[in-house]
Amino acid sequence: MVSQLYAHEQKQDGGLGMGHSNASGDLSSEMEVDAFRRLFPLRFYEHHLAESIRPDGRALGKARDTTIELGAVASADGSALAKIGLTTMLAAIKMEVMTPSKESPDEGCIAIDFHMPPICSPLVRPGRPAEAEPVVSKQLADTILSSGMIDLKDLSLVSGKAAWMVYLDIYCLDADGSLFDAALLSAIAAFSHLQIPVVSMNDDGKLIVVSEENGEKDIVNKEKRKLSLNRIPFSLTCVLHKNYILADPTAEEETIFETLVTVVLDTFDQLVYLYKPGGLVLAFTSSVQDCIALTRQRLKELQKILDESVSGMEVD
Amino acid sequence: MEIDRIDGRTPNQLRPLTCSRNVLNRAHGSSSWSQGDTKVLAAVYGPKAGTKKNENPEKTCIEVIWKPKTGQTGKSEREYEMILKRTLQSICILTVNPNTTTLVIIQVVNDDGAVSFKVAICCGLAESGYVILDPAKLEEQKMKAFPYLVFPNSVLSVLPEGSPKVEGELMENGIITSVTQGAMAVDNYFHCLERGRAANEKMSAFLRRSLQPQLPG
């Protein structure tokens, strides 16, 4: 039965022509393709790679369709829903006034947390955090803080007495590969959407958050309601397989090709983060340079998408 | 312009390396590795029967536990575990013992910088853009950015043609693992790669000398 499948596979043109040859035999030939895909995933992919295409029809260097929706969570101070293909991330920001530490009295603080609830993937069980969860969480925290996107001094209200504590939570709603890319994008979109709450001094000399309608007295930060983002980092994950570099892998591709490379560049072309955790394929300088070139292209695409959604929000 | 390092090393100098094996009795394999004041103890247990739930039963599963010197295990430790696990999976031949689990435990004894990846090279990128190798803790804190790099052991040339070349580049120039911390210019990253490769030769020679008595041939 197995050799029949392989022979069947060989006869086809190896690309998207599978299963589209004749209408009557359509269902049976599709079933065989599906079985081949499950039994020999690597060979299935290699047939496609030889034609420079992937099973979902994408070119090797092309990322999936990306969308950003701002303001997805109405109760949060800033939020965004980012989708790369089927991978969906929801980011929400809540801000609180706190006393800054003695070592840095002029700086606020950002706490970043990434969660993978069981809704996102059949591999994640309730009660047992996914393996990727603390890793992506730490990667996000490192990237956002070291990129210099947000100046912590911007978060200061009264030097030495009050500063903002920013809680950024990112929830993965659907895990279909490239989790870090989607999470970073949703975090940046949430920061772009963020409206800093209005604070005023109450009678005890403490700063409290007030809602816009109640009275205009003693509002401390009337003008400063938005964060300025200078060096925005954008990321692209690629998988390496022999001589091929596939950009933006799906979950299936990530499992089959174990070698992942994540490159994060910012708008000033600085390398913010490069992550290659082992893998069977060694990365030579040429592959690293190719990945960086692909990331530069992706940066332009993502910047355009982000600008469009931000200007769309401002019109409203 | 030369940078003065605290302990008087040149920018390209590694700290003294020591390595001893079989330090623990009950573990199936163990070693202690130190680079200057940074010391790490590693123990290996296995292979045990059975793999974890979602792992491929046709290959060995490698499980890594990283224990910091002080404090509870947090996200950093999980990240190191994941990176080490993937690096080891690419280095070891996994199909020799299918459907088994090998447990690797790393205990940090003393952290004086460059604690991760004791078979790796750690380069530091200072403010002025100079690349220094193998930073100590104090130097690490002042660094703008640093990448951790793991290179394959450089091949001893027994063949007259020399080391195997893949597409014009030597095999030992390929990176197995690279994790950067902090933002740096793309060119600086490639400089770090070059320095790392140069240091890789020295480290490989050291490793070969210390493992030689037990390796066959």
- For residue A123, give the chain B residue with the closest CA: B54
ipTM: 0.75
DSSP-based three-state secondary structure for B179? strand
Residue-range definition of the domain harbouring residue B152: 17-156+173-211
In this structure, the strands spanning B29-35 and A244-247 are unpaired
From chain B, pick out residues whose CB is under 8 angstroms from the CB of A40.
none
| pLDDT value, residue B169 | 47
Domain assignment of residue B12, yes or no: no
- For residue B166, give the chain A residue with the closest CA: A284
Q: Write the pLDDT tens digit of every residue in B126-174.
A: 333 333 444 444 444 444 555 555 555 443 333 333 333 444 444 556 6
Number of structural domains found in chain B: 1
Q: How confident is the model at residue B211 (pLDDT cuts 50, 70, 90)?
A: low
Q: Write the pLDDT tens digit of every residue in B95-138.
A: 777 788 888 888 877 765 554 444 333 333 333 333 344 444 44
Where in chain A does DSSP place strands (E)? 66-70, 78-84, 87-98, 109-115, 156-158, 162-174, 199-201, 207-209, 233-241, 244-247, 260-266, 270-276
CA distance B142 to B177: 24
From chain B, pick out residues whose CB is under 8 angstroms from the CB of A142.
181
CA distances from A111 to A142, A169, A187, B116, B183 (A): 11, 8, 12, 24, 20
Instruction: Name the residue with tokens 């955090």.
Output: A129
User: Which residues 148-167 of chain B have a CB within 8 Å of chain A?
Assistant: 150, 152, 166-167
Q: Which two tokens stand for residue B121?
A: 């090279």
| pLDDT value, residue A212 | 58
Domain assignment of residue B161, yes or no: no
Residues listed for chain A: 316
Report CA torsion sign: A152, A153, A156, A161: positive
Domain assignment of residue B44, yes or no: yes
CA distance B150 to B155: 15
Inter-chain touch B79–A134, beta carbons under 8 Å? yes
CB B114 within 8 A of CB B135: yes
| pLDDT value, residue B181 | 75
Residue A19 is classified by DSSP as T
Which amino acid does the sequence have at B60?
T
Domain assignment of residue B37, yes or no: yes
CA distance A277 to A130: 17
* CB-based contact, B204 to chain A, within 8 Å: no
The shortest CB-CB distance from A278 to any of B90, B167, B174 is to B90
CB atoms within 10 A of CB B58: 10
| pLDDT value, residue B77 | 85
Domain assignment of residue B143, yes or no: yes
| pLDDT value, residue A186 | 95
CA distance A196 to A198: 7
| pLDDT value, residue A294 | 92
CB B148 within 8 A of CB B79: no
Task: Count A/B contacts: CB-CB distance under 8 Å.
Answer: 109
Instruction: Name the residue with tokens 């996000």.
Output: A140
Which value, to the nearest 10 degrees, does the dihedral of the CA atoms of residues A128, A132, A133, A134 take? Answer: 110
CB A143 within 8 A of CB A272: yes
Q: Write the pLDDT tens digit of every residue in B53-67.
A: 777 777 888 888 888
Element (H, E) at A136: helix A132-146
B182 pLDDT exceeds 80? Answer: no
Domain assignment of residue B5, yes or no: no
The shortest CB-CB distance from B175 to any of A139, A271, A276 is to A276
Low-confidence ranges of chain A (pLDDT < 50): 1-24
CA distance A204 to A218: 13
Q: Which of A259, A284, A286 to mutate to test the interface with B (most CBs of B within 10 A)?
A: A284
Domain assignment of residue B216, yes or no: no
Q: Write the pLDDT tens digit of every residue in B15-55.
A: 777 777 778 888 887 878 777 777 888 888 877 887 777 77
| pLDDT value, residue A188 | 94
Spell B87-122 as b/e; 16+ CB within 10 A means b.
bbbbbeebeebeebbbbbbbebeebbbbbbbbbbbb
| pLDDT value, residue A18 | 45
| pLDDT value, residue A175 | 93
Residues listed for chain B: 217
**CATH number of the domain to which B88 belongs:** 3.30.230.70
CA distance B207 to B201: 10
pTM of the model: 0.81
Domain assignment of residue B10, yes or no: no
B207 pLDDT exceeds 50? Answer: yes
CB atoms within 10 A of CB B178: 23
